[in-house]
Amino acid sequence: MSTFTRHHSKGTLLIKGGTMMDPLTGLSMKGGSVFIEDGVIRSVSGPGARPVFSEGYRVYDATGKWVMPAFIDPHVHLREPGFTHKEDFESGTKAALAGGYTTVFAMPNTNPPPDRPERIMQIMDLTREKAYCRVEIVATATLGREGKEPVPLDEFRDLGIKAVSDDGDSISHLDTWRRVLQGCADTGIILTDHPELTTLTRRAPVNDDIAAKFGLPGAPCSGEAGAVAIGSILARETGGRYHAQHVSCELTVKVLEKAMESGLVTAEVTPHHLALTQEILHDKGALAKCSPPLRTGTDRSKVLDAFVRGVIAAIATDHAPHTVDEKSRGLSDAPFGIMGLELAFTSLLRLVRAGELPLSRLIEGMSLAPARLFGLEGRGALAPGYVGDVVIFDPSMEWDVEPPFVSKSSNTPYLGERMTGRVVATIMDGSVVYELS
């Protein structure tokens, strides 16, 4: 059984003996130590260095393990309020800790959605009562998530909101989309957009390229790339920050390469779009159904290449828990989505071992890159002055992807597979808040 600690104080902790890896300094050092004092990293020292600090702190022996900045996920669905049979703030944030995350951005397609200040404050209260890790509430971009009327972004900013989204949908009315980005320019809030022109995709369950084989309608890449193009144009015109969620197509990468010149456009990619292709639908069925759908091998390799080059900055799980019953309704009728928090890093290590993805870039894309994208000062690095949020990972531990998971859900196409490497502890503010035992 694993141990989770919800109420923690700012701890003082010496982590020693592991391989320390830091995306900020490029450090990769075996046998060093990290000293966290009162929740803040004070020093990262080489092997043999004896930190001269106060007595009485806990020592965590990380020999044989990797020591990295804890992960930050800019895109998860915690399903509360409204859909707590799928997930809630407690189960979802515990799943985050089990995957090495200490910060998650919770998407607003809940019931009710956080689309006005009172509701945002209620949901913030819920996270204070129930969450085990840091939760950034992503508010809706439009009232009721209906795509028609922009939310009061200046009031949202005063509540500490960093990003808005109508995730699940792009903003259907273009004039509204433009007004939202205008508000983003005025407030510094980021529009994190689910790029999908549904007039093109018709919310089809699979990629256009493979649809005929299943006798189903298909979603073309133009639906995604077109939305990113529109978002980018509106960003340039208004000065608002536009972030494209879960990029899946080569065509979208081409749009991004041009659009990012403005300095206003950024993007993320999911672990499943980096690692998997549409062909697995034959075996995995609805467990591999997600939005946008898994694409062709060419799309996958171009998207992976774009991530390695930094055209796509960060990795976001789009953790989308559903019940077993919901996911057993077949490819056509099951809901979109894959659970991601507990499997993200370990599943992507397969790409590292295959020589497709540098380990340093993987770590950066899951820590420092999302911190920088969303303005999380002092987070995402294993360096002095940064917050003492650390993940301890055992790269050789073998385990089977089988329920029960920490999440309430089990909808992953990796179900039944063997993984090598697992998070064994997660540290927040210098306190061990998760330990695998």
List the catalytic residues: 318
Alpha-carbon gap, residue 131 to 124, rounded angstroms = 10
**Residue 88 lies near Zn ion (rule: CB under 5 A):** no
Q: How far apart are CA 144 and CA 196, in angstroms?
A: 19
Please tell me whether residue 7 adopts helix, strand or coil conformation. Answer: coil
Within residues 130-169, the interface with Zn ion by CB under 5 A covers: 167
Q: How far apart are CA 399 and CA 392, in angstroms?
A: 16
Beta strands in 208-318, from DSSP E residues, in sequence order: 218-219, 241-244, 265-269, 314-315
Q: Which residue is nearest to Zn ion (CB)?
A: 194
CB of 87 to Zn ion, least distance (A): 16
Q: Which is nearer to Zn ion, 194 or 408 (CB)?
A: 194
Size of the site for Zn ion (CB under 5 A): 2
**CB-nearer residue toward Zn ion: 194 or 273:** 194
Instruction: Please check whether residue 275 is in contact with residue 350, taking contact to mean a CB–CB distance below 8 angstroms.
Output: yes
Helices (H), 34-105: 89-98
Backbone angles phi, psi at 82, to 5 degrees: 110, -30
What is the rounded CA–CA span in Å between residue 98 and residue 391? 10
**Closest distance of CB 75 from Zn ion, Å:** 7
State in angstroms the smallest separation of the CB of 293 from Zn ion: 12
Q: What is the largest distance, in Å, between two alpha-carbon atoms of the chain? A: 68
* β pairing state of 27-30 and 19-22: antiparallel
Residues 239 to 268 in contact with Zn ion, rule: CB under 5 A = none
Helix, strand or coil for residue 218?
Answer: strand
Any contact of residue 194 with Zn ion (CB under 5 A)? Answer: yes
Smallest gap from residue 245 Cβ to Zn ion (A): 5
Separation CA 274–CA 351 (nearest Å): 9
Strand partners, 219: 207
CB of 365 to Zn ion, least distance (A): 18
Q: Which is nearer to Zn ion, 37 or 136 (CB)?
A: 136
**At closest approach, how far in Å is the CB of 106 from Zn ion?**
13
Question: Considering beta carbons, is residue 167 or 429 the nearer one to Zn ion?
Answer: 167
| Residue 196 touching Zn ion (CB under 5 A) | no
Q: Report whether 208 contacts 221 (CB < 8 A).
A: yes
Q: Which of 88/167 has CB closer to Zn ion?
A: 167
- Pattern 268-307, Zn ion, x by CB under 5 A: ----------------------------------------
Distance CA 343, CA 174 (A): 36
- CB nearer Zn ion, residue 338 or residue 369: 338
What are the residues binding Zn ion (CB under 5 A)?
A: 167, 194
